[in-house]
Amino acid sequence: MQGAFGTVVVVVSVLGIIGALVALVLSGKTWEEYGKHRLLLDTEQSRAPSAGSPAALLERDAEIRQLLQARNERRRRRGEPPLDIEQELARLTAPAIDPELRTEIRQLVIARNHRRVRAGKPPLDVEAEIEREIGGLSGI
């Protein structure tokens, strides 16, 4: 009887290992697909818009407006005059450019103008190009 017990344990273990290997092979893409369906909460895609995109900028501006409205409400309760929300929003979201960065942008624009002149194209207005480049930095 005890000799049969050892045989049964070995046979059941071998069958269990074979069953586990078959299940592993048949499950294949189950783990690769895990969390990629809309009904599951574990997704690889972020729900927030990518940074610098128009949607992210609109969301940022909406949140800043809410904060400014709350600030105006506190100012009103203290008897202080309210701030212009749109003007304050423009001030807060304007790119902060230090003199070194402005100098570096100027050098970039001047170098770009030299390349344009060598290519036979008319040079661009340096100051206008500097302002355009600074405006492009606001999404960063």
- The rounded distance, in Å, linking the Cα atoms of 137 and 130 is 11
- The rounded distance, in Å, linking the Cα atoms of 39 and 30 is 15
Element (H, E) at 44: none
- Cut 0.85: pTM above it: no
Each residue's pLDDT tens digit, 49-60: 677 678 888 888
Both structure tokens of 109: 């624009």
Write the single-letter amino acid at 23: A
Write down the domain spans for the chain.
1-45, 48-94, 96-135
Each residue's pLDDT tens digit, 83-103: 999 999 988 887 777 889 889
Highest mean pLDDT among 16-30, 31-45, 111-125: 111-125
